[in-house]
Structures are given as C-alpha cells and as structure tokens.
C-alpha cells in the first residue's frame, strides 16, 4: 500500500484543492493507494460527496504557527505511515528535518507561475499601516525595479527544489523557466510538468447569453479586477445588450464594488461567493481574466469546458498554453494593454453567432485533452517512480 498525503491551508477553497480531490478520486479506484489530506482550515460544507471514502482528512495547526504545524505533520507522517508528502503551493517549514527523521519522499506542487513569490513579497510589504509607511519611506525604492523581489523568489524556489524529491509545475514551458531561473540542466532535473485537469461537460449549452463573466478570488494584487472594471467602463456603451457578472469573494470584494460605483458602471453585478458556479459558466458567453499572474487559469479552463470564449492577458506561459493558438479557442491580449483588451471584447461582441459557435466548439474539444483521469494518471506515474513501484 502506497500512502500519499497532501498538505493544504484551507480545504477545499480553490483550484489546487480541486486538483487534490481529483487525484484522490482517481487513486481511490487504483489498487494499492491510500490518500490523506492534512489541512488547517476545513470547510465541511464544501467537501465533496463521499469524501470520507476517497481520502482521510486530518487537522493541522494554522500556518501562523509553523513550528507546531511541522511537528503535527511529522506525527501524522509517522502514525499514518505516509510514503509521499505533497506540499501544495509551497514547502513546509522544517521539511528537511522531517525527511531526515522519517524517510518520507516529498513533492512541492507549484500551482502558480514560476517564481510567483515575487508578487507576494511586494504585496505583503504593503499590508498594514506600519508596513505601508515603511514601504513609502524605504522599501519602495529597494523593490522598484523588481530585481530584489525576483532574487528572493528564485532563492525560495531553489530551497524548495533542493529539499524535494520532485517539483511539479503546470506546463512544459514552466519546466524550462524554472530550470533556467535556477541555473540547472534543462534535461537532468526533478521538475515534472503536470497540467491541471478539467471535467468534460456532458451537455454543453451553446445557446449563450450576452454575459462577460469573471469568476475567482477578489484578491486584487493578483487577480487585478480593477483592470476589468476599467475595461468594462470603456465598452459598456458599445456593448449595451451585454452584462458584466463577477462571481467570488475575498478581501477586496467591497473595494471593487465601490470602484464600480465610482466608475458609474452599468449592468455590472457582484454575485458574491457561490458553492457552485456551473450555471454561470453555462450561461456566460465570455470568461474574462485580467490577472497580474496566473499559474493556469482554472476559470478559463472551466469556461472552455462549458463552451465559453476565454479572454485574458498573456501574462504567463500557463495562460498562453490554455488559450493558444489565440483566436482558435480563446483570445490572448498583450499584457497589460487595457485598450486592446477592450477592443477584443468589442470584436467578439461584433462576431456572428456562427463565428462564436466555432470558437466555443474548438474550446470544448481542446479542453477534453485534460480530463481528470489523464492528469491523475500522470500523478500516479510520478508517485510510482518515487517509491519504486512497478
């Protein structure tokens, strides 16, 4: 029996957690595998049906107390007899010691773009009154050109790579980017490209409403919803029979609502958090992302599976992989050209129904290549290799 444990903070909450659930479902049907999830904050109401039959869920201390968190993980690893520990998003504090004492094999699963930490480093230095003052007095000059933040991000990634037996990224171009950034061999390394899965939709609705949909966290430093609101302000009069619908919640929800009022946006609705967003994708014509950084863009892939036309800034290789070739099953806009983004929305709105239908159908066909079974099988092959299982 091979026992695999995934470490999360909130569970479930977003795309990374959905991937863990997909892998657990697949492995539960394979002989010789048992899956565990170690998480700090568990949303019981969001757990999938038959979760207890798919994986074993265990509680962890909060990330704010890393030493206790690491101690508890080690206790679980020993008690549960874990063979492989998957650290989702970032490495656990003290993982080297845990490996040395238990012999567990470890994976760091990067669900963002390579060196995504550079954005978080800058953002966190501006949170709170004292940090904002220090930012304007001192740190803004240090981080102005982005070089310092990138160097810190590279070193964090290097530590995670060197402490792990496998480091996973979301597409082949990311593998090359990490290898180049760390200065390691592009051929001989333990970086593995495993895409995010997407469930095929049995009854895709191609009879869409004139809706531009945003679906995601209201976390403006990464999702940059402010850009989408400004873009909508540019096109709302010319797209008079269209609506902008924003689904999700987060720390910047009220701030974005206030911004929409300040911009006098018309036909823009803020729906808040929804347990299921399938019906929004089913009705929407366009799924729009204006993010600063996106690892893979699950809103885009979920939309494609539902026959939506994806539009996003080409901010990362992951976004380009999802929407390429531009114009075939979605549209890539040069980052971060808000005027060109607005023009692209207008071009889609001006298309004939037949033109839009062809793009929708190609998106559905393209997304079918990334079924949960195909992606979970890549994870199983990786796990088998780590434990020497034939």
How confident is the model over 369-382, as pLDDT tens digits?
A: 898 889 999 999 99
43-46-48-51 Cα dihedral, nearest 10 degrees: 10
* Chain position carrying tokens 């099953």: 329
Q: What pLDDT digit, counting tens, does each position of 223-234 carry?
A: 999 999 999 999
Residue 160 lies in a domain: no
Same structural domain, 302 and 380: no
Confidence of residue 108 (pLDDT cuts 50, 70, 90): very high
Residue 230 lies in a domain: yes
Q: What pLDDT digit, counting tens, does each position of 235-290 carry?
A: 999 999 999 999 999 999 999 999 999 999 999 999 998 878 999 999 999 999 99
Residues 23-29: contacts with CB within 8 Å, 24+ apart? 23/376, 23/379, 24/54, 24/55, 25/54, 25/372, 25/376, 26/372, 26/373, 26/376, 26/377, 26/379, 26/380, 27/376, 27/379, 27/380, 28/53, 28/54, 28/55
Query: What CATH number is attached to the domain comprising 107?
Result: 3.40.50.11380
Residue 376 lies in a domain: yes
Residue 126 lies in a domain: no
Query: For 305-309, what is the mean pLDDT?
Result: 96
Statement: residue 94 has pLDDT above 90: yes
pLDDT for the residue 390: 54
Residue 147 lies in a domain: no
pLDDT for the residue 383: 95
Identify any residues that bridge with 245 across adjacent strands, giving them in sequence order: 213, 269
Same structural domain, 378 and 319: no
Contact yes or no for 93/70 (Cβ under 8 A): yes
Same structural domain, 338 and 378: no
Strand, helix or coil for residue 207:
coil
Query: For 191-203, what is the mean pLDDT?
Result: 92
Same structural domain, 311 and 376: no
Alpha-carbon distances of 169 from 88, 191, 227, rounded to whole Å: 11, 7, 27
Same structural domain, 228 and 375: no
Same structural domain, 289 and 230: yes
Give CA–CA dist 81/94, Å, rounded.
19
Contact yes or no for 131/71 (Cβ under 8 A): no
Same structural domain, 334 and 382: no
Contact yes or no for 34/2 (Cβ under 8 A): yes
Confidence of residue 150 (pLDDT cuts 50, 70, 90): very high
Percent above pLDDT 90 for the chain:
74
Residue 197 lies in a domain: no
Helices 353-367 and 298-305, axial angle in degrees (round to 10): 110
Contact yes or no for 333/326 (Cβ under 8 A): no
Statement: residue 135 has pLDDT above 80: no
Strand, helix or coil for residue 2:
strand
Identify any residues that bridge with 272 across adjacent strands, giving them in sequence order: 247
Of the candidates 283, 301, 287, 219, the one whose C-alpha atom is nearest the C-alpha of residue 18 is 301
Q: In what order do the strands lie in the sheet with 2-11?
A: 56-59, 33-42, 2-11, 84-88, 105-109, 166-169, 191-193
b or e along 97-135 (b: 16 or more beta carbons within 10 Å of the residue's beta carbon)? Answer: ebbeebebbbbbbbbbbbbbbbbbbbeebbeeeeeeeeb
Same structural domain, 268 and 376: no
Q: What pLDDT digit, counting tens, does each position of 27-86 carry?
A: 988 888 999 999 999 988 888 888 888 999 999 998 888 999 999 999 999 999 999 999
Give CA–CA dist 311/309, Å, rounded.
7
Same structural domain, 257 and 375: no
Same structural domain, 303 and 383: no
Query: What CATH number is attached to the domain comprising 283?
Result: 3.40.50.2000
Same structural domain, 282 and 378: no
Torsion 187-317-157-6 (CA) sign? negative
Identify any residues that bridge with 105 across adjacent strands, giving them in sequence order: 84
pLDDT for the residue 389: 63
Give CA–CA dist 107/6, Å, rounded.
9
Give CA–CA dist 86/109, Å, rounded.
7
Dump the DSSP string for 91-125: PPTTHHHHHHHH--EEEEE--SSTTTHHHHHHHHT
Same structural domain, 21 and 43: yes
Range of the domain at 273: 211-370
Gap between the terminal Cα atoms of the chain = 13
What stretch of H or E contains 353?
A: helix 353-367
Residue 182 lies in a domain: no
Q: What is the pTM of this model?
A: 0.90
The distance from CA 153 to its chain's CA centroid, rounded to whole angstroms, is: 18
Residue 150 lies in a domain: no
185 HSE (CA, 13 A, CB side): 4
Dump the DSSP string for 239-274: TTT-EEEEE---TTHHHHHHHHHHTT-SSEEEEE--
Domain count, the chain: 2
């Amino acid at each position: 029996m091979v026992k695999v444990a995934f470490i999360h903070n909130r569970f479930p909450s977003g795309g990374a957690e959905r991937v863990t659930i997909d892998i657990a479902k697949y492995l539960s049907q394979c002989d010789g595998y048992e899956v565990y999830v170690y998480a700090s904050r568990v949303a019981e109401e969001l757990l999938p049906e038959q979760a207890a039959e798919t994986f074993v869920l265990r509680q962890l201390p909060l990330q704010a107390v890393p030493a206790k968190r690491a101690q508890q993980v080690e206790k679980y690893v020993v008690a549960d007899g874990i063979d492989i520990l998957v650290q989702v998003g970032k490495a656990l504090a003290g993982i080297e010691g845990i490996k040395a004492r238990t012999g567990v094999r470890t994976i760091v699963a990067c669900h963002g773009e390579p060196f995504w930490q550079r954005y978080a480093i800058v953002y966190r230095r501006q949170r709170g009154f004292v940090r904002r003052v220090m930012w304007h007095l001192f740190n803004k000059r240090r981080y102005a050109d982005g070089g310092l933040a990138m160097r810190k991000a590279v070193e964090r990634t290097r530590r995670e790579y060197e402490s792990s037996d496998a480091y996973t990224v979301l597409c082949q171009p990311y593998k090359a980017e990490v290898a180049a950034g760390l200065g390691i061999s592009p051929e001989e390394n333990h970086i593995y490209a495993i895409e995010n899965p997407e469930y095929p939709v049995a009854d895709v609705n191609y009879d869409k409403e004139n809706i531009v949909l945003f679906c995601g966290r209201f976390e403006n430093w990464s999702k940059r919803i402010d850009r989408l609101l400004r873009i909508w302000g540019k096109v709302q009069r010319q797209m008079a029979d269209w609506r902008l619908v924003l689904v999700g919640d987060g720390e910047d929800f009220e701030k974005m609502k206030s911004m929409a009022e300040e911009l006098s946006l018309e036909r823009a609705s803020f729906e808040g958090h929804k347990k299921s967003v399938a019906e929004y994708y089913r009705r929407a014509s366009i799924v729009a992302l204006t993010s600063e950084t996106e690892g893979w863009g699950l809103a885009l892939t979920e939309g494609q599976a539902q026959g939506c036309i994806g539009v996003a800034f080409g901010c990362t290789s992951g976004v380009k992989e999802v929407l390429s070739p531009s114009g075939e099953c979605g549209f890539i806009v040069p980052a971060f050209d808000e005027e060109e983004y607005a023009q692209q929305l207008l071009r889609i709105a001006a298309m004939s129904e037949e033109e839009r239908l062809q793009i929708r159908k190609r998106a559905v066909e393209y997304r079918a290549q990334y079924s949960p079974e195909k992606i979970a099988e890549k994870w199983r092959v990786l796990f088998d290799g780590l434990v020497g299982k034939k």
